[in-house]
Amino acid sequence: MIALPRGESRLRAACQVSVSGLVQGVGFRPFVYRLAVRHRLGGWVRNASGNVQIVVEGNALELDAFVQELRTEAPPLARVDAIALARNPVTGLAEFSILPSALEPGGRQPVAPDAALCGECEAELFDPSTRRHRYPFVTCTNCGPRFTVIEAMPYDRARTSMAAFQQCPACLAEYEDPANRRYHSETNSCPVCGPRLWFEPVQEAGSVVGESALRLAAALLLRGGILALRGLGGFHLAVDALRERAVWRLRARKHREAKPFAVMVRTLEDARAIGDIGSAEADLLASPARPIVLVRQHARSPLALSVAPGLEQVGLMLAYTPVHHLLLDLLRRPLVMTSGNRSEEPIAIGNPEARERLGGIADGFLLHDREIVARYDDSVVRVAGQAPVMLRRARGYAPMPLTLPVPAAQPLIAAGAHLKNTFTLAQGRSAYVSQHIGDLESLETLTHFRAALKAARTLFRIEPEVAVRDKHPGYLSTEIAEELGVARTITVQHHHAHIAAVLAEHGHTGPAIGVAFDGTGYGDDGTVWGSEFLIADLSTYRRAGHLLPAPLPGGDLAARTPWRSALGYLSLERARAATFAHAFAEVDAKAVEIADAQVRRGINAPLASSMGRLFDAAAAIIGVRRTASYEGQAAMELEAFAGSRPGTAYPCRFREADGRILLDPLPLLSVLGARRRRGVDPADLAADFHASIAFATAKIIRQLAEQTGIELVALGGGVFQNARLLASLLRYLEAARLTVLVPRRLPPNDGAVSFGQAAVAATLLAAEKET
Ligand SMILES: [Zn+2]
Ligand SMILES: [Zn+2]
């Protein structure tokens, strides 16, 4: 604040203000303009590449209030991180204006995520007296596409895909009117000058535009057809969520057997008709990010069973574009909305690409001609306790930067993990974690990675000098890191990256007791890790405990065949064969024989200490699931199965080896198997399994805390998406008065690995600089 001597309130003052944070693409300049006019200040505001710059002059008290209100009255989508002030000489500036943007090489700042249609625009959309009545691309400075249309910063229409549409005189008048909500709204358009919407049937040639397009699309959906619609960050495939046959058709055509589909409804009230919406869920559903929120479906839910087979949770989201609102208003029923791709491929974004890739799936296309600059999936969130846990971070959240506790001395790129990949570009304290990219298993996803990285380098003006990669020699992300041709590569162990991500997200550098539970990650000893207790800080770690390793017959194949995980544990103590019998019921005997031979001969049966696979083994032994159609399905169903039963903790055995604590789950698995054979309800056994793992994990953590005196715990890894496990573990650890960090802004799963890699690399670079 500028200190003023008493009695000098009529004095004129001038100053220069620089505001950093999320201040472009969120209506910040118009807001500054209105604020300056209100306080009768002269001067100007402009976007620069690294911040928003303001010069103001006027009454000193008014000026003081202006600076204060820059923070307190900022527009809803803005995030003010810092305000820097410098005194200027008084020169008699009287008028206030918005100046053209200043391009500064090296300037860097956040890019706004896309935001859902705001309330005011929604009201206009359905108001026959406005010129944007039923206009499918209505936006203002408070809502609409941002990241998906921005090609470069600073944010001006000329550097967006809206540059293709020239504003008509009526739109331009709004754009230039400081009192208007669309003052300097770079996405401003109307039915006269803006993008077009049209419908193309797949079977016939030709197309229909405007309102008729919407009606044909709605009619198609009501007939049970599959609609491909172009949205903000790519295509969705939609079907009527109440019609079993329609949902099955979509599953068959998309080659997606069982993985749950998300459902879109128009209002919170519509959402309440389907599932239990607590206040935390309601806040998330209605937030400008409008993520998919996992909620418990209630018994009277009208959704087709095939939407989320075998799960009590269903992913719901509210309409977030004008097209969604118009369509759902016509239909008055929930829609399955799944990403427009064939199974596991990236989402389609261009019209020709969609016609080619989705032509065999969809019955009709609802298209528009506003080009999509960035692929941008829907984000997925669930609530554990009262706090949100991110499961997939993309639309509405990415690419907002996170802050590194140790600044990166050199610009770096962290290539992330193999599955659920994201990458991170970092320089200084800013870490730009990309939107969800996907599983790097197909050429298409790899192409998506390269394109997204190229775009991010332009947007954030970061030219990496250091590449960070996983230790796994065969990962495609590793290959990409190598091919970047930078002078220096740093490798980071997968689970260390998980723990570092959680520490860094919370501004900690450690040391902490890190617990990373996931599917698989490449260990230092060449075996598969995945249940790691690490004494870790941001630069180093010591492996202090893990599950007893068991062979994993079939290697990666085991992720989709839980019975193989059970077989691996059985091989450790063959005497227990009878108690494991349920794991192999309904499984092809020949396949079991082959896998058994693999284990005995040690061929294609790597040793693994994976918590994800232990959940699989338990699911198989209890008889919940023996074969799966996607990784993690068995564990998700095991959690669903347990319902709200409290569960009893059964004992695990603990061993010591090389100074590490080994958790031996065999006694637990045997108890579960034996009780299942005695006819105990599998739901009770599922609850008992969760309780037992939470208890054993807490026990190891407490022991490590006593040994090391460390009272900070960091939990990471995809297994902690399990709300039940997380909640009961937290209860134990809070009772032990330990401080526990859990992932909040990034997912517990591999989506956070690139950020963790960046945090470790930045810390290592800083240590080198010191020595
Ligand atoms: Zn709006
Ligand atoms: Zn217009």
Q: What is the 3-state secondary structure (H, E, C) of 361-418?
A: CCCEEEEECCCCCCCCCCCEEEEECCEEEEEECCCCCCCCCEEEEEEEEEEEEECCCC
Average pLDDT for 459-472: 93
- Reduced 3-state DSSP string for 487-518: CEEEEECHHHHHHHHHHHHCCCCCCEEEEEEE
Q: Give per-residue burial for 622-656: e unless 16+ CB within 10 Å, then b.
A: bbbbbbbebbbbbbbbbbbbbeebebebbebeeee
**Does residue 362 contact residue 226 with C-beta atoms inside 8 Å?**
yes
Mean pLDDT, residues 698-724:
96
Instruction: Evaluate whether 110 touches 297 at the Cβ level (below 8 Å).
Output: no
Cα of 66 from ligand 1 centre, angstroms = 25
Amino acid occupying residue 508: H
| For the CA of 139, the nearest ligand | 1
Query: Which ligand has the minimum distance to the alpha carbon of residue 193?
Result: 2
Return the ligand number nearest the Cα of 288.
1
- Which range among 182-196, 469-483, 512-526 shows the weakest confidence by mean pLDDT? 469-483
- Kindly identify the ligand whose nearest atom is closest to the C-alpha of 142: 1
Instruction: Considering every ligand atom shown, identify the ligand nearest to the alpha carbon of residue 180 and give its number.
Output: 1
Q: Is the predicted pLDDT of residue 10 greater than 70, yes or no?
A: no
> How far is the centre of ligand 1, averaged over its atoms, from the C-alpha of 586 (Å)?
55
Specify the pTM: 0.91
Rounded to the nearest 5°, which phi and psi values hold at 156? -140, 155
Ligand nearest to the CA of 195: 2
Average pLDDT, the chain: 92
**How many Å lie between the centroid of ligand 2 and the Cα of residue 159?**
19
Best CA proximity match to 334, nearest among 215, 239, 254, 252:
239
Q: Is the pLDDT of residue 263 over 70?
A: yes
Q: Which ligand is nearest to the CA of 167?
A: 2
Q: Which ligand is nearest to the CA of 145?
A: 1
**204 alpha carbon to ligand 2 midpoint, in Å?**
32
Gap between the Cα atoms of 119 and 129, Å rounded: 17
Nearest ligand for residue 132 CA: 2
3-state secondary structure of 692: helix
pLDDT class of 649 with cuts at 50, 70, 90: very high
In angstroms, the CA 36 to CA 24 distance is 18
Residue 193 C-alpha to ligand 1 middle, in angstroms? 18
Quote the ligand 2 centre to 173 CA distance (angstroms): 9
Task: Give, in order, the Cα–Cα distances in Å from 461 to each of 210, 288, 355, 580.
Answer: 39, 27, 34, 56
CA of 143 to the centre of ligand 1 (A): 4
Signed CA dihedral, 64, 155, 373, 428: sign only: negative
100: CA distance to ligand 1 center in Å?
Answer: 23
Residue with the bigger pLDDT between 479 and 491: it is 491
Give pLDDT, residue 7.
44
- In whole angstroms, what is the distance from residue 321 CA to residue 448 CA? 24
User: Span 624-651, mean pLDDT?
Assistant: 87
* Closest by CA position to 653, among listed 638, 671, 635, 639: 671
Identify the nearest ligand to the CA of 185 by its number: 1
Ligand 1 centroid to residue 68 C-alpha, Å? 26
Note the pLDDT of residue 105. 66
Distances (CA, A) of 81 to 55, 64, 403: 19, 19, 11
Ligand number nearest CA of 122 is 1
Which pLDDT does position 8 carry in this prediction? Answer: 46
Q: Would you place residue 124 in the very low, low, confident or very high pLDDT band (cuts 50, 70, 90)? A: very high
| pLDDT of the residue at 5 | 46
The rounded Å distance from CA 162 to ligand 2 centre is: 12
Rounded to the nearest angstrom, the distance between the alpha carbon of 290 and the centre of ligand 1 is 14
pLDDT value at 416 more than 90? yes
**Which pLDDT score, from 0 to 100, does residue 352 have?**
94
| Distance of CA 104 from the midpoint of ligand 2 (Å) | 31
Q: Residue 116 C-alpha to ligand 2 middle, in angstroms?
A: 21
Ligand 2 centroid distance, CA of 181 (Å): 14
**pLDDT exceeds cutoff 80 at 574:** no
Ligand nearest to the CA of 181: 1
CA–centroid distance, 174 to ligand 2, in Å, is: 9
**CA 171 to centroid of ligand 2, rounded, Å:** 4
Query: How far, in Å, from the CA of 282 to the mean position of ligand 2?
Result: 35
Ligand closest to Cα of 320 equals: 1
131 C-alpha to center of ligand 2: Å? 9
**Helix (H, G, I), strand (E, B), or coil: what is residue 229?**
strand
Strand partners, 534: 514, 543
C-alpha 139 – ligand 1 centre gap (Å): 5
The percentage of the chain sitting over the pLDDT mark of 90, rounded to a whole number, equals 73
Selected residue with higher pLDDT from 440 and 222: 222
In a 3-state reduction of DSSP, which class is residue 44? strand
Of 93 and 404, the structure prediction assigns the larger pLDDT to: 404
CB contact at 8 A, 145 and 60: no
> In this model, does residue 662 exceed pLDDT 80?
yes
Q: What are phi and psi of 508, to 5 degrees?
A: -95, 155
The pLDDT tens digits for 282-313 are 999 999 999 999 999 998 999 999 999 888 88
Q: Which ligand is nearest to the CA of 175?
A: 2
Which ligand is in closest contact with the Cα of 174? 2
Starting from the CA of residue 165, give the closest ligand. Answer: 2
* Paired sense of beta strands 660-664 and 541-547, if any: parallel
The tokens describing 527, both together, are 């075996």
Q: Give the pLDDT score at 494.
A: 97
Residue 4 has a pLDDT of 45
Ligand 2 centre distance from Cα of residue 168 (Å):
4
Cα separation values, 569 from 574, 592, 614, Å: 9, 14, 9
